[in-house]
Amino acid sequence: MRKRRAVLTMDFLAICVLAGGLAVAQAMAVGPRREYFRYTREVAISQPGKQNYLVIDAAIWSHVRADLSDVRLYEVRPGGGDAQVPYALSEEQGASSTEEREARILNLGVRGGRTEFDLDVGGEAEYNHVQLHLKATNFVASATADGRDALGRNAGRKLSTSTLYDFSREGLGNHFALRIPLSTFRYLHVSITPAISPRDITGASTSAQREAQATWISAGRCSAPEQISRTTRIACDLDPGVPVGRILFTVPAGPVNFRRTVSVRAVSVNNNDPQGGEFCRGSISRIRMNSGGKEVVTEDLAVSFCTSKERRILVEIDNGDNVPLAVEKAEPQSMERRIYFDPAGKTAISLYYGDEKLPAPEYDYAKFFHKEADAAQAVMGAENQNSDYTGRPDERAWSERHKFVLWGAMLLAVLVLAMLALKGLAGGAAV
């Protein structure tokens, strides 16, 4: 009898363990399905025989996750059997640069009234940018760079002539870089006009920079500038979800030789009153100066934007005691993001997005992606609510969705075990 009760107890415990295992098992992750996306847009392809791309616009940004992982392209086939179209995301950046590497300064001295030295570039495979580290201030100088494969007195190959300057007195910044053609010379011989002495040179570094024109799109709207005391104030509304990369200012051609500090802060939604501290700071400038017969021309009218969730901001330009800067307008901008894909002969596909639980895709196309220079832009139609949208099924753990069953099974197990224990004690006492 006792053996039979033991067998029953073991069977019951096995059933309880099985029930508990089912209770804590997680639901299998459900992959992408068209009915799980809230929004869709038709895509027209005019050149189906080459690589195409779509530009992520404000409408898409407002309804996707920040990493764009819930975007999918589909070839919708009549009667079912829809197929995903693999794609690759690309950010249309400007110049790219290798990591800067320190270069050894050799043979530093004065020759013929000019400061000269050699740079040992070492193992750098290629470079086209030399950044000098200088202590000198308030100067304009001319610097030449010659490439050499070995140290010596033999003339090298002339690569470039650059203008170096520092306008600390005027508050207009500096420029200590040499731009040269892409080179692989082991040594660079640098010669600088007397405005720089050997003791002013503290170091140098090289890097390879590849110039490309960055593509920017609008990311919001700004009101007309208003002048408050020494500050030019501009209120801006940012597009929801769009990652702002910079604020670009339009300044008439007339004002020159200025450098103004720009700060960005959050403001209340209903008015332009600041409600938080400054979260971003930069400067804008335009320099056109002649010094020692050399002309310096440079301009930077964009301020990098710091990461922020604010949707309404206040931009302030500090004019100091100068005449207020005549800003025509300010525009928040975002680096353009594109979706590249191969139509494989298809003239129409569909874009779906808006599934907050969908993991990022893994396509071989993205792993081996190469941007083609003649890629064609496909045209997106208007955004529509997905008529097939059902939403995802409840993917919570079984135990979360059926807590009462789990607790009931556990309580029943305790009661049965208690009853068996009592009977066992009673039987032992009778013996």
Summarize pLDDT for 341-365 with one digit per residue, the tens: 999 999 999 999 999 899 999 999 9
- Please indicate whether residue 401 or residue 111 has the higher confidence score (pLDDT): 111
* Whether pLDDT at 158 is above 60: yes
In a domain, 64, yes or no: yes
pLDDT for the residue numbered 407 = 63
pLDDT for the residue numbered 171 = 82
Of 210, 242, 265, which closes a domain? Answer: 210
- For the chain, what percent of residues have pLDDT higher than 70? 81
Of 210, 242, 260, which closes a domain? Answer: 210
User: Which of the four pLDDT bands, split at 50, 70 and 90, describes residue 152?
Assistant: confident
**pLDDT (mean) for 136-165:** 89
In a domain, 26, yes or no: no
Can you spell out the DSSP letters for 96-137?
EEPPPEE-EEEEEEEETTEEEEEEE-TT-S-EEEEEEEE---
- CATH classification of the domain holding 284: 2.60.120
In a domain, 313, yes or no: yes
d(CA 420, CA 92): 72
- Please indicate whether residue 385 or residue 9 has the higher confidence score (pLDDT): 385
In a domain, 391, yes or no: no
Instruction: Kindly state whether residues 146 and 166 are assigned to the same domain.
Output: yes
d(CA 354, CA 427): 65
Length in residues, the chain: 431
Instruction: Kindly state whether residues 101 and 193 are assigned to the same domain.
Output: yes
Contact criterion met (CB below 8 Å) for 48 and 343: yes
d(CA 288, CA 298): 7
Instruction: Kindly state whether residues 140 and 188 are assigned to the same domain.
Output: yes
In a domain, 170, yes or no: yes
Instruction: Kindly state whether residues 135 and 225 are assigned to the same domain.
Output: no
In a domain, 372, yes or no: yes
User: Which of the four pLDDT bands, split at 50, 70 and 90, describes residue 330?
Assistant: very high
- For the chain, what percent of residues have pLDDT higher than 90? 61
In a domain, 104, yes or no: yes
Angle between helices 2-24 and 403-430 (to 10 degrees): 170
Instruction: Kindly state whether residues 294 and 349 are assigned to the same domain.
Output: no
The boundaries of the domain holding residue 353 are 41-92+337-384
Of 297, 314, 335, which closes a domain? Answer: 335
User: Which of the four pLDDT bands, split at 50, 70 and 90, describes residue 307?
Assistant: confident
In a domain, 393, yes or no: no
pLDDT for the residue numbered 82 = 87
- CATH classification of the domain holding 108: 2.60.120.260
The tally of domains found in the chain comes to 4
- Tell whether pTM > 0.75: no
User: Which of the four pLDDT bands, split at 50, 70 and 90, describes residue 366?
Assistant: very high
* Whether pLDDT at 297 is above 80: yes
Instruction: Kindly state whether residues 107 and 181 are assigned to the same domain.
Output: yes
d(CA 311, CA 276): 13
pLDDT digits (tens, 9 = 90+) for 4-57: 444 444 444 444 444 444 443 343 445 688 999 999 999 999 999 999 999 999
* 3-state SS, one letter per residue, for 167-183: CCCCCCCEECEEEEEEE
List b or e across 290-307, with b for residues whose CB sees 16 or more CB atoms inside 10 angstroms.
eeeeeebeeeeebbebee
Instruction: Kindly state whether residues 222 and 199 are assigned to the same domain.
Output: no
**pLDDT (mean) for 76-87:** 87
Instruction: Kindly state whether residues 102 and 140 are assigned to the same domain.
Output: yes
Burial category of 2 from C-beta neighbours within 10 Å (exposed 0-12, middle 13-18, buried 19 and up): exposed
**pLDDT (mean) for 59-70:** 94
Give the angle subtended at the CA of 319 by the CAs of 249 and 136, to the nearest 5°. 90
pLDDT digits (tens, 9 = 90+) for 263-292: 999 886 555 555 567 889 999 999 988 876
d(CA 215, CA 90): 11
Name residues whose C-beta falls within 8 Å of residue 243's C-beta, 6 or more positions apart in sequence: 61, 66, 219, 334, 335
Contact criterion met (CB below 8 Å) for 338 and 60: no
pLDDT digits (tens, 9 = 90+) for 238-252: 999 999 999 999 999
**pLDDT (mean) for 112-128:** 88
Instruction: Kindly state whether residues 188 and 270 are assigned to the same domain.
Output: no
Instruction: Kindly state whether residues 326 and 225 are assigned to the same domain.
Output: yes
Give the angle subtended at the CA of 365 by the CAs of 363 and 370, to the nearest 5°. 145
User: Which of the four pLDDT bands, split at 50, 70 and 90, describes residue 100?
Assistant: confident
327 CB-side CA count, 13 A: 30
Instruction: Kindly state whether residues 293 and 195 are assigned to the same domain.
Output: no
**pLDDT (mean) for 409-413:** 71
How would you classify the pairing of strands 220-222 and 174-175? unpaired
Instruction: Kindly state whether residues 154 and 237 are assigned to the same domain.
Output: no
